[in-house]
Amino acid sequence: MFRLLALAAWALPLSFAQFIPAPTDLIQAKGYANISVRYKEVPTGICELDPNVKSYSGYVDIGENQHVFWWFFEARNQNASTAPLTVWINGGPGSSSMIGLFQEMGPCYIDKNGNPYNNPYSWTNASNMLFIDQPTQTGFSYSIPVPAYKDGESGQLTVLPNTTCPDYAKNWACGTYSYFNQSLTADSTPAAAPSMYKTLQGFMGAFPQYSSGELFFATESYGGHWAPVFNEYILEQNANLAEGARKINFAGVIIGNGWHDPLIQYQSYYNFTVNPGNTYDYDPFTDSQKARMYNNLYGPGNCYDQIADCYARGTNQDCSLADNFCARQVELLFDNLAKRDELDIRYLSPNPFPPEYFIKYLNTPKVRQAIGAYVNFSKSSNAVGLAFGSTGDGGRVLTILTDMKKLIDANMTVIMFYGDADYNCNWLGGEAVSHKIGAPGYEAAGYTDIISSDSIVHGQVKQAGKFSFLRIYESGHLVPFYQPLVSLEMFQRALAGLDMATGKMVVGKGYLTKGTQKRVDIQHYDWAA
């Protein structure tokens, strides 16, 4: 599902992309399984503004030319040594988790002047938070650091012979980057799973004081691939621990606007725009354009047939061609014809929300030095996207649905939540996936309102035991940005094992929400026409 949505995000503010010397002030530590970790304590004010809350960042060196960046924040207003640990990773593939940190649920946002300010709805109100840039070459993570310049339009990287920016490159972003090499990063979700496991073993061994409790795994978008596969891998390793490794006390997954099953979710683009349509009463296509999308989806040899062939044959060629065809001929029709933002249909493209002031902020020398970064920051990784595209990983269902069912059967928390203004990973597709998983009791559960502490109905939930599907009203792809209060309270309820609707009941295997079997489709009109 490599979407080509963030090409402009590869560009760096020219005045801030710089050649960076290797950090010399990082503390060396050994994690579990003898994995090397380098880190430093981040000064108050770089993001977290409370001097009583500690923050650390650094690298886990999981192998030769494999250096994974992480940034940890203690939980606020509680004992961090007994608080749960939540890992957050963004999607992409190749999207930096600094998106989640600075645009969604981290302790701070960045204003237009480049100053951090407090996020009162940070998920650190409920948990220790560990943000990880993965796989290698994503965000601040790197394989081999090289002097280079980056084309601001295409993201293409050109390596330089030394740390002097030549005249012909000064219109681009000269600096230190991870060497562009698809063979030095993962090319599929299963291939990325061992690296994530090693990263966790490294961090938890270096910081055992934050690793004794439960671990939750939170993610969004392509995280619908990451979370089930990664956590099944973790459970497999728990059952067969290598020497020096530590069992991870895994408790559940929380997935926002996830991309799980391409055969279902490519069809949902037609469902969301044509039949039955979205809940914003927005009809983007003419009759001929609707017919074009239908044919591109269901015509002989087109998207549906190609994805089905990918499922049946499983070759890189079949899956890569299928995913590419479906993305360009089905998904991107909305972008090309409607000129609206895939991630929030209420806005024209380019959408100014959420603001991206954090990109420039992270590329200031002060911040890079404070967090021990060795490369310039890029929001998205071209290398990772192309590597995953070569195997057609985004067109595969892999073991995702069976892995989610295993977690549910093990009485672990599994939450799927969707902002209902997102077209890219829309809630109609997510809802269809939720039914296909086969969670016990789920078909008997009904939809009921989600009530938060402001007494406002922010959406609907269908829940059976610890498995739940949530539709969040008036929200684009990044739900914690658009609806921060209900996002935080959903997270708090998940960690506490409480019902998603009210947060007042402890849920067990027999718990079912009561209400209509069909979701209530509330129309909204207060968006940019």
What positions carry a catalytic annotation?
221, 422, 477
Distance CA 494, CA 256 (A): 13
Task: Select from 186, 188, 187 the least CA-distant residue to 199.
Answer: 186
- The DSSP element (H or E) to which 159 belongs, if any, is strand 157-159
Contacting residues for 53 by C-beta, under 8 A, at least 6 apart: 73, 74, 75, 76, 80, 107, 124
**Cα Rg of the chain (Å, integer):** 22
For 90, other C-beta atoms within 10 Å of its C-beta total 30
Distance CA 261, CA 253 (A): 17
Lookup: tokens for 385: 């996207």
Q: Packing angle between helix 287-298 and helix 262-273, nearest 10 degrees? A: 170
Which residues are 253's β-sheet partners?
A: 217, 414
Which residues are 108's β-sheet partners?
A: 118
Task: Select from 120, 90, 96 the least CA-distant residue to 108.
Answer: 120
Lookup: tokens for 10: 């590869």
Is residue 228 within 8 Å of 414, Cβ to Cβ? no
Which residues are 71's β-sheet partners?
A: 57, 131
Contacting residues for 154 by C-beta, under 8 A, at least 6 apart: 7, 10, 382
Which residues are 451's β-sheet partners?
A: 457
* DSSP conformation letters of 341-367: ETTEEEEESSP--S--HHHHHHTSHHH
Sign of CA dihedral 116, 121, 123, 127: positive
- In what side-by-side order are the strands of the sheet with 447-451? 27-30, 36-41, 55-63, 66-73, 128-132, 85-89, 215-220, 250-256, 413-419, 467-472, 457-464, 447-451
Rounded to the nearest 5 degrees, what angle is found at the Cα of 361, between the Cα atoms of 355 and 366? 165
Which own/partner pairs from 315-322 qualify as long-range (CB within 8 Å, at least 24 positions apart)? Answer: 316/390, 316/391, 316/392, 317/392, 318/392, 319/391, 319/392, 319/393, 319/395, 319/396, 320/389, 320/390, 320/391, 320/392, 320/395, 321/392, 322/392, 322/395
